[in-house]
Amino acid sequence: MKERVAIVGIGVTGFFSVSPSLSFKELTYTAAVKAYEDAGLHPKDIDSFITASEDFMEGYSIFDEYVPDQMGAVMRPVQTVTADFLQALGIGWMMINTGRFRIIAVESHSKASNVKTLDEVKAFALDPVYIRPLKENSDFLAGLEMNRFLTETGNTEEQCAHVVVKNKANALKNPHAAHAAKLTVDDVLSSNPISHPLKELDAAKAADGAVMVVLASEKEAKALCKKPIWICGISWFSGQGNPWSRTFAYADYAQLAAQKAYKMAGISNPIKDLDFAEISDEYSYKELQHLESIGVARKGEAGFLTQSGATLADGIFPVNISGGLIGVGNTFEAAAGIMVYDAVMQLRHEAGMRQIPNACRGLVQSWRGVPTATGAVAILSNE
């Protein structure tokens, strides 16, 4: 690592199940204003801007032409990353480490409620030769993966239901959560089936919102911010593109990304060296699969840890205190953004009712969703 990079400002708008009175530009503008105020900066102080967006989710071709206005980036350098927020954050980290940039703004947003045929749009990402002709959507593939994961690891549907109960309950303390609820395991297990063994409450519902982060080099961060949050390690990987060639029981992209991020941050034992984790839980079983893949739990033990309460806010390793995507909402490219926001609040000790005592180092892990095998891991610290 050439130079330390810190988060010096962050802003969030939402998240909402629907937002008929707000355009995606208004959502992004509000998040940007909050981030710039948090950093004590004006857009003219930013060297370059990054947006994490995907044309087919936005409904526009070359979508980034609609980005600069609300970011204060008109006639300024804007980079588009067709990936999730955490990968865009990594691109910003690398840009600062080139020595050519001192301050970078990273944005991502969701206006999923505007997409009238969301399942069909998600299905359009499926393989056009082998999968899309089957006329199935992404939830169908998730059900297949969940079934294989449970069969091979010994984790259970009931333990997946505990993930849902935990995350929706955590979201009750999060003012930015769109899908908070108090549920029981029976509520989850008796919800409508989607694709065996996946049920309706096992899947995160879509949400609208926006996140903006301001990154700075070490010199700039120390001058701007009393509480810089350092990116100690960040990495992402893509696994096998063809779903039928993957090992459904394991997330190799998460394992590889975690190993690289751990090495960068000097982490040898994640449970001992980290205070909390924000884990991708687009489906309930993915939280368990990702915990095992990043080395927090051994194969087949993530469900037991969750059921025993070890991943609760007062457990030995708190997971998704924000409420995760199940509680906050799935914002697709912006999904990791709310996780980063919550991690920053934890490390600043400004998380309110969600605060973990003495939190000083946390992990954020993302997944791009079906049908991808792409994910990222970042280690954040206040030291």
Please work out, in degrees rounded to the nearest 5, the angle formed at the alpha carbon of residue 174 by the alpha carbons of 329 and 114.
30
Does residue 189 come out as left (phi exceeding 0), alpha (psi in the -120 to 50 range) or beta? alpha
Q: How many helices and strands, by DSSP H and E, does the chain display?
A: 15, 11
Question: Given this model, what pLDDT does residue 225 score?
Answer: 87
pLDDT in tens, 263-275: 999 999 999 999 9
Question: Given this model, what pLDDT does residue 164 score?
Answer: 98
> 5-117+209-229 is classed in which CATH architecture?
3-Layer(aba) Sandwich (3.40)
Question: Given this model, what pLDDT does residue 109 score?
Answer: 94
Question: Given this model, what pLDDT does residue 355 score?
Answer: 97
Question: Given this model, what pLDDT does residue 10 score?
Answer: 97
Amino acid at 19: S
The answer to whether the beta carbons of residues 71 and 49 sit under 8 Å apart is: yes
Sign, CA dihedral 303-241-113-212, equals positive
Question: Given this model, what pLDDT does residue 239 score?
Answer: 83
Query: What is the pLDDT confidence band of residue 299, given thresholds at 50, 70 and 90?
Result: very high
Element (H, E) at 112: none
Whole-number Å distance between alpha carbons of 170 and 79: 34
Query: What is the pLDDT confidence band of residue 367, given thresholds at 50, 70 and 90?
Result: very high
Question: Given this model, what pLDDT does residue 36 score?
Answer: 97
pLDDT in tens, 83-99: 999 999 999 999 999 99
Query: What is the pLDDT confidence band of residue 349, given thresholds at 50, 70 and 90?
Result: very high
**In this model, does residue 1 exceed pLDDT 60?**
no
Range scoring the smallest mean pLDDT among 18-22, 179-183, 242-246: 242-246
Question: Given this model, what pLDDT does residue 301 score?
Answer: 97
Q: Pick the more confident residue, 229 or 247.
A: 229
Structure tokens at 344: 């920053």
**In this model, does residue 366 exceed pLDDT 70?**
yes
> 122-206+230-381 is classed in which CATH architecture?
3-Layer(aba) Sandwich (3.40)
Mean pLDDT, all residues of the chain? 94
**In this model, does residue 140 exceed pLDDT 60?**
yes
* Whether pTM exceeds 0.85: yes
Whole-number Å distance between alpha carbons of 305 and 245: 29
The answer to whether the beta carbons of residues 141 and 131 sit under 8 Å apart is: yes
Structure tokens at 231: 């990116």
What is 165-212 written as a DSSP string?
Answer: HHHHHHHTT-TT-SS-----HHHHHTSPEEETTEEGGGBPPB-EEEEE
Locus of tokens 């309930």: 284
pLDDT in tens, 42-76: 999 999 999 998 887 887 778 778 889 999 999 89
**In this model, does residue 41 exceed pLDDT 80?**
yes
Name the segment(s) of the chain with CATH classification 3.40.47.10: 5-117+209-229, 122-206+230-381
Question: Given this model, what pLDDT does residue 319 score?
Answer: 98
Whole-number Å distance between alpha carbons of 46 and 101: 9
**In this model, does residue 11 exceed pLDDT 70?**
yes
**In this model, does residue 346 exceed pLDDT 60?**
yes
**In this model, does residue 232 exceed pLDDT 90?**
yes
**In this model, does residue 237 exceed pLDDT 80?**
yes
**In this model, does residue 376 exceed pLDDT 90?**
yes
**In this model, does residue 125 exceed pLDDT 90?**
no
Q: Going by C-beta distance under 8 Å and a sequence separation of 6 or more, which residues neighbour residue 216? A: 5, 6, 8, 39, 96, 102, 103, 104, 224, 225, 228
Say what percent of the chain tops pLDDT 70: 100
pLDDT in tens, 304-328: 999 999 999 999 999 999 999 999 9
Query: What is the pLDDT confidence band of residue 34, given thresholds at 50, 70 and 90?
Result: very high
> What does the pLDDT average to over 369-377?
89
Question: Given this model, what pLDDT does residue 372 score?
Answer: 84
Closest CA to 342 of 322, 365, 360, 356: 322
Locus of tokens 């490390």: 347
Say what percent of the chain tops pLDDT 90: 80
Closest CA to 108 of 125, 127, 97, 92: 92
> What does the pLDDT average to over 206-221?
96
H helices of the chain, in order, are 24-39, 55-58, 68-71, 85-97, 118-123, 138-153, 157-171, 185-189, 218-224, 252-265, 270-273, 284-293, 302-307, 324-328, 335-348
